A = this chain, B = another copy of it.
Amino acid sequence: MPKKVDHDARREELVLAAWRVIAARGIDEVTIREIARESGYSSGVLAHYFENKDDLLAHALRLSHTRIQKRYDAELGAPLPVDQLRGILLDNLPLDEQRELETRIEMSFWARALRNEALHEIQEQESETLRALLRELVVKAQADGAIAADHDVEEVLELLGAVIDGVSLHALLYPDRLPAEKQAKVMEFALRLLA
């Protein structure tokens, strides 16, 4: 009897290999052959799981976002909405190795998403999912008085979203200037300003 393959597990394994290569070499220069080499499988096996490079990249971005969202459950266990909000905001910064890898993946996709509609759509969906969660928490924090009630919710969301991606970008580009505790301080500062 042939060995039974767990296709979902293998797909994830291949996507993780893609992540590592993308983080190291940049998304545009990555080839299917290199990802195959990194994964230990053949290009033929990869072709069985992914239609083409863009399909593989789309899976890589989705897996990154799925992993981020799984961590949210812990953050959402905090009693106060503003602490839940803080938890989610900090979780989106490259504060440790795992999240730095995720941020590199994300950064690799930004420029490419401008020129690839399928990737752009995934990027936008995922961005809207995060914004919907943040919106809910901001509204609750405003009801609690932890964020001033007269701030426009959409402006608060744009500001916090910009701080997440701006700080993430600068932390990767200038790690000496923005070690983890400094990144967290900037986010805390933003929350204090909104209070």
Contacts and interface: CB of A to CB of B under 8 A. Distances in A.
Q: At the interface, is chain A mostly helix, strand, loop or mixed?
A: helix
B110 A173 contact: yes
Given A162-B162, A166-B163, A186-B162, A111 B113 contact: no
Nearest to A162: B166
Contacts of A166: 161-167, 169
A47 interface: no
Contacts of A110: 107, 110-111, 169, 173
A185 interface: yes
A186 B155 CA distance: 6
Interface string A171-187: 01110001000100110
Interface in A22-77: 25-29
Contacts of A165: 162, 165-166, 169-170
- Size bracket of the A interface: 35 or more
A26 B28 contact: yes
Contact of A158 (B120, B152, B182): B182
Interface of A: 25-29, 104, 107-108, 110-115, 120, 123-124, 127, 151-152, 155, 158-159, 161-167, 169-170, 172-174, 178, 182, 185-186, 189-190, 193-194
Given A28-B29, A159-B163, 18 more contacts: A26-B112, A27-B111, A110-B110, A111-B111, A123-B173, A124-B173, A124-B174, A127-B173, A127-B174, A158-B189, A161-B166, A162-B162, A162-B163, A162-B166, A162-B186, A163-B166, A164-B166, A193-B194
The 3 closest A-B pairs by CB, nearest first: A162-B166, A28-B28, A166-B166
28 contacts: A26-B28, A26-B111, A28-B28, A28-B29, A107-B111, A108-B111, A110-B111, A113-B173, A114-B172, A123-B173, A124-B173, A124-B174, A127-B174, A158-B167, A158-B182, A158-B186, A158-B189, A161-B166, A162-B162, A162-B163, A162-B165, A162-B186, A165-B165, A165-B166, A165-B169, A166-B166, A193-B193, A193-B194
